[in-house]
Every structure is written in C-alpha cells, then in structure tokens.
Amino acid sequence: MMSAFPKSKSSGLFWLIGLVVVLILCSVLIHPFGPGKRESSPEPLMEGISIDARRHGIIGRSCQNCHSEKTQWPWYSYIARVSWMIESDVSRARSHLNFSRWEGYPTERRLAFLDEISVMISARSTPPWRYLLMHREAKLSNTDIEQVSQWARAERYRLRSTATSSIGRSWSYDSSGVL
C-alpha cells in the first residue's frame, strides 16, 4: 500500500516547502479589506485646493500614498499578510481623509480636515512610524511642517472667506425689500 506521505526526510521537506509555496500563492488572492488597489482616480491630487507647487509636493510625497487614490503600491504590498496590513492602513486613511475626493467634502468638513492636518503633522503623528521605516523620503522636516501648517491656515481663511461671501450672495430680495 502506498502512503500519501513521503518516507524520507528530504522528500518530506520538499513536500512541506511545496505546500508553503502553494499556500502563499493562494493567499495573494485573498484581500480581506476590500478592493483597495483597484480604486484609482484620474483626477489631479487635491483638485480645488489653493496650494503652491512646493507645498503640494510635500503633501504628495508624505500623504498621497495613504490619503488619496493615487497610491503607489510597492512590490511587497502584493504579498499576503503584508498586503493585508497595508491595504487596511490605506483603507482606514482614505476613509478618514481622501485628497482625491476633496471637492466632495462640505466646507465645514474641509475646515476640520485642515485643522486636523496641522495638529497631526505638528505632533508628528503622521506619517506613521511604520510607514516611515520603508519610505524615509516621506518624513516631514521642521520646515515641511511649518510650510504645510502655513498653507492649512491660509486655506482655512480662503474657505471661510469664500463661504461667507457665498452666503451673502445667496440672499435675494424682491422689489419690495422682502426676502
């Protein structure tokens, strides 16, 4: 009677390695956090935001991989377990703030985001240390933090001014002076 299991240690190791390889290849197809890698936006990053090229570059370098649909997926993001962690992180970051969908947020939410951006980068809470291990170029210098914080203050002022002027324009009176 033939056994399904190999008799020698070397052939047993061969079967074990083969099984591990097959499991790894199969696990690449499993994505428990949804189709994160399939979401992509043809729109320019941060459409509708008033920002200069230098600050746009800082945000693109340090924020876009997690907080937009312009993520550049590294090779290791296709390996199971690691891919699950990365896709989970990106999915969570996009659900909080997605620069690719900036225009779709109401003004009040954009103002809150701008406050949060300043607080988070000043506290060095973002980019996360785990991301910086593999992406040293994303680390924000003190100058970067000051530049982005200045932009966030200016953008908050611009949005408030725009919202205030549009509220004033939305009122219309009839010929008798009644709303």
Q: Per-residue pLDDT tens for 38-96?
A: 666 677 777 778 889 999 999 999 999 999 988 888 888 888 778 888 888 898 999 99
Tokens of 132: 């910086």
Residue 160 has pLDDT above 50, yes or no: yes
Q: Is there a contact between 55 and 146 (Cβ–Cβ < 8 Å)?
A: no
Closest CA to 100 of 36, 152, 147: 36
Q: Tell me what the pLDDT averaged over the chain comes to.
A: 81
Segments of 15-133 assigned E as strands: none
Residue 98 has pLDDT above 60, yes or no: yes
Q: Nearest 10 degrees: CA dihedral of 49, 54, 114, 104?
A: 30
Measuring CA to CA, how many Å separate 176 from each of 168, 169, 171?
A: 19, 18, 14
Residue 11 has pLDDT above 70, yes or no: yes
Q: Is there a contact between 160 and 78 (Cβ–Cβ < 8 Å)?
A: no
Distance CA 78, CA 75 (A): 6
Residue 121 has pLDDT above 80, yes or no: yes
Instruction: Please report how many Cα atoms fall inside a 13 Å half-sphere around the Cα of residue 8, on the Cβ side.
Output: 3
Residue 174 has pLDDT above 50, yes or no: no
Q: Give percent of the chain with pLDDT exceeding 90.
A: 38
